[in-house]
Amino acid sequence: MEHEHQNPFAGIQWHEEAVYQSLGGPPNNWSRDKTFHNILGKARPESGPGSSWDPDSIMEYESSLA
């Protein structure tokens, strides 16, 4: 199950450099690749049936970086 922020139909406009900066530092210390994989990358539509984006989904992370 994909997180809602990775829904290919999601309308999230990320501030990408802010995401990389935030998650690249403590406590996460994520690499850019890991941040892209977990946050910025979209699920491939061919990976399975999708749905329209639900911004109220429990699978949607709250973030001030979008």
Listed as ranges, residues in the chain with pLDDT below 50 are none
pLDDT for the residue 46: 66
pLDDT of 10-26, one tens digit each?
778 899 999 999 999 99
Counting beta carbons within 10 angstroms of the beta carbon of residue 57, is it exposed (0 to 12), middle (13 to 18) or buried (19 or more)? Answer: middle
pLDDT for the residue 61: 62
pLDDT for the residue 44: 75
Report yes or no on whether pTM surpasses 0.75: no
Write down the H helix ranges in the chain.
16-24, 32-35
pLDDT for the residue 58: 62
